[in-house]
Structure 1
Amino acid sequence: NDIHFKVVPQSISDDEKTTLKNELKIKIKNMFFHKIGGVLVLNTDYLLVSKFLNLSYVTIYGSYMMVFQVVTVLMSSFVNAITASVGNFLINQNDDEVTSIAKQFNTVFIALATFISLNMYFLVNDFITSWIGEKFILGNGI
């Protein structure tokens, strides 16, 4: 059960090399601007908070965002796993059963989102207080 690899040299003409280099340069340039745009879009909230408030609020806001991002990642993992399982199950069902199951899952997901949203609203300040202290709590007026 040995696996052997053989490297076969491929000859590329000068025109093809030039074309590949130009395509690579274009793709690298596009990736650079894409990354810069991503940083601007994803960090605009931090820039606005620092502009209109002060840097201490940026750290407080960052701690809240960290909590929300952890909850979002956990819920996304859960929902993606359930969605894949349901998709595999629904392949062999007729249209009426698919519609019924889809409505049931929408109801469950809405209930789950409501439960998590309400818990986050009422409990996030308590969590932040126990995690990093009371001085990192945002007031309701912000």
Structure 2
Amino acid sequence: MADDADDSRERAEKGRQRMAFNELVATIMYEINAAHGQGLCETTCKLSKSDLDFADALIETLQNKGYEATLNDQRLHLAWELSEEAVNEANARERFNDFYRSVTYSIRDASDSGENSTTISVADSDEEFVDRIIEILEERDYQVAYEPQKGRLAVEWPQE
């Protein structure tokens, strides 16, 4: 009877460890996906002391999934190769953010000068983002007109 109880406790403990390991792998994969979504090809995760019990199995699992995984103290460094598509998406996202910032800075500078309108030059490389910028500005009750032949975006907002 005591053997059955010991066996049962041992199976329960192994089950808990398996669940903890699976949760750790899921957390690491979430971190990898978040970094990948930002166009990054590496990330570092700090493991808890209890997670270190799984270090060898974790590294093996991640390497089997195609990731480069190294552990230094409690820091798990992960690296991977980005596909050309992922690189292109990250570059496009960065270009959009740069264009959006330039638009908002132009609006802020004009507003700070007491104006309620501005005209922004649109580079050929930014034309693909104009529709999204217009959508964002119109959601904020700005009046927007785009003149593609002149490469200009005219923006007007209510006087405060």
Normalised TM-score (structure 1) = 0.29
Structure having the larger proportion of residues in strand: 2
Structure having the larger proportion of residues in helix: 1
Instruction: Identify the structure with bigger relative contact order (alpha carbons < 8 Å, sequence gap 6+).
Output: 1
